Structure 1
Amino acid sequence: MNLSNEQRLIVAMLASIQQKLAVTEDDDAVSPAFVMEAIRQDQQWAIATRYTGLFASEPMPPQVDRVCAYLGMWEHLESAYDELAAKDQKRVAATLGLGKSPLRLPGFDAKTEGESLAIARFVLQHMCMFARFVGRGSLIASRPMLETYEATYEQYRLQTRDVTDRHLSADQLLHIFQATG
C-alpha cells in the first residue's frame, strides 16, 4: 500500500476523529493508533497486512519480506541453540567464537541498513510478530548484516528443507554459520 500525501492526510484526519470519539479497536475493526503509527513511521504496508479483509491482496514489499524472513530464521536458530544440551551449546559457542554469549540476532546496522532496522522495529513493536525479540533493545548491529543474513538464509533453507520438527542439531547450526563465513 502506497498512500499519496493527500490520502495520508485524509487517513490521519479520520484516525484523529476516531480517537477523539474514543472509538477503540474493540468498537471498530481498525485501530486508529495502529494506522497512525504505520503512517508516521512510513510503514504503510503494515496496514494492508494487518487488515487483510479490508484490502485487495498485495504482495509485501521485497524489503519487508526479507526482514521478516531473516527474523523468522533467527527466531528458529536461537530457539534451536537454546534447546541444545549444555555441552553442544558450549561446542557451538566455542566454534563460532561467541565466548559465553548465547547465539543471538545481531540486529541491523543503523547507518547503512536503516530501512531494514525500521521495518524490524515496526514488526516487533506494532505487528506482534516474532515475540522472541520483543523487548530486546535497539536491534542495532555493530556492522552491516544484510549480506551475511542473505548468505545465512541460503544455508538455513538448505539445512531446514527436510526438518519437520523444527529441531536443529549442533552440527546443523555449525554448518549454517560456518558455510557463510
Structure 2
Amino acid sequence: MSYTQAEKLQIMLLCDIHRALGIEDSYDPDVIEEAITTDNNWAIGWKYQNLNDGSKTPPHVTFFVDTVDMYKILQYTYQHFSSDDRVEVESKLTNFHGEKSLVFPGFDGNNETDYLSVGYMLEKLGRFEGTDITKNSHMPCVDTYRRMLDVFLPARSKDWNHNKGISKESFIAVFQAKIHPSLR
C-alpha cells in the first residue's frame, strides 16, 4: 500500500492530534508516523494485525529479517559447539575470529539506506532486541549476505536442531560463502 502526499499529511496530523490528546490505550502514533514517513508501510500491518491489508512483505524486508536471523542462529550454533568443534571451525575458516565474527555487521549507510530504514523500523517495533540492527557497516554488504543466505536458508530448513543450531558443516559453509568467489 502506498499513500499520496495528502494522505501522508493527514495521517501525520492525526498522529499529532492523537499525541496531544494523550490517548494511551490505542495505536502508537510514533510507530504509525515513522512507518508513513519512511515508506515502511508494511510495519503497520506487522504491529497491528487488524490493519494488515494482506500485502506481501517487501523483499528487502524479508532479506533484512533473514540476514539478522542468520547471524543470531550462527551465534547460537557457535555457543553450542564443543571446544574441539570451535578449534576445527577456526582452522577451516580464514579470517574467522570467534564471537567477533558472529556480530551482525549492519548495512552500508551510504548505499544500502533502504535496509537501514528497515532496521530502524524493526527497532521501533521492538524486534530483535539485544541485537544492534541499525548499525552502519560503512561498506556494502548485500551481495555478501545474499551469498551467505543462499547457503544458510536451506541449512536452516534441513538441519536446524533446537538444542544445537545448524550443523558444523553448514556453519562452515555459510562462512565460506561470505568470501567472494574470486578470492576463494
Note whether the superposition's TM-score is higher than 0.5.
Answer: yes
Cα deviation, 1:137-172, whole Å, max 9, x if unaligned, reads: 751214211111111111012322322424123332
Q: Could you list the runs of 4 or more consecutive aligned residues of structure 1 that deviate by over 4 angstroms after TM superposition? A: none
Classify 1:49/1:19 alpha carbon distance in 2 versus 1 (closer, same or farther; 3 Å): same
Q: Is the 8 A contact 1:34 1:126 kept in 2?
A: yes
Classify 1:171/1:132 alpha carbon distance in 2 versus 1 (closer, same or farther; 3 Å): farther
In the aligned structure 2, how far is the partner of 1:55 from the partner of 1:159? 31
Paired residues, number: 175
The aligned counterpart of 2:116 is 117
Secondary structure at the counterpart of residue 97 of structure 1: coil
TM-score when normalising by structure 1: 0.84
The aligned counterpart of 1:106 is 105
**Residue 127 of structure 1 pairs with residue 125 of structure 2:** yes
Quick one: percent identity of the two aligned structures?
A: 22
* Offset at residue 180 of structure 1 (A): 4.5
Where does structure 1 lack aligned partners over 5 or more consecutive residues?
none
Q: Is the 8 A contact 1:89 1:170 kept in 2?
A: no
* Offset at residue 78 of structure 1 (A): 1.8
Classify 1:80/1:39 alpha carbon distance in 2 versus 1 (closer, same or farther; 3 Å): same
TM-score when normalising by structure 2: 0.83
In the aligned structure 1, how far is the partner of 2:177 from the partner of 2:40? 34
The aligned counterpart of 2:6 is 6
User: How big is the alpha-carbon RMSD for the aligned residues of Structure 1 and Structure 2?
Assistant: 2.1
In the aligned structure 1, how far is the partner of 2:171 from the partner of 2:15? 46
**Residue 150 of structure 1 pairs with residue 146 of structure 2:** yes
Classify 1:38/1:179 alpha carbon distance in 2 versus 1 (closer, same or farther; 3 Å): closer
Where does structure 2 lack aligned partners over 5 or more consecutive residues?
180-184
The aligned counterpart of 2:182 is none
Matches within 5 A, 1:72-111: 72-94=69-91, 95-99=93-97, 101-111=100-110
The aligned counterpart of 2:48 is 51
In the aligned structure 2, how far is the partner of 1:111 from the partner of 1:65? 21
The aligned counterpart of 1:174 is 172
Amino acid at match of 1:121: Y
Amino acid at match of 1:88: D
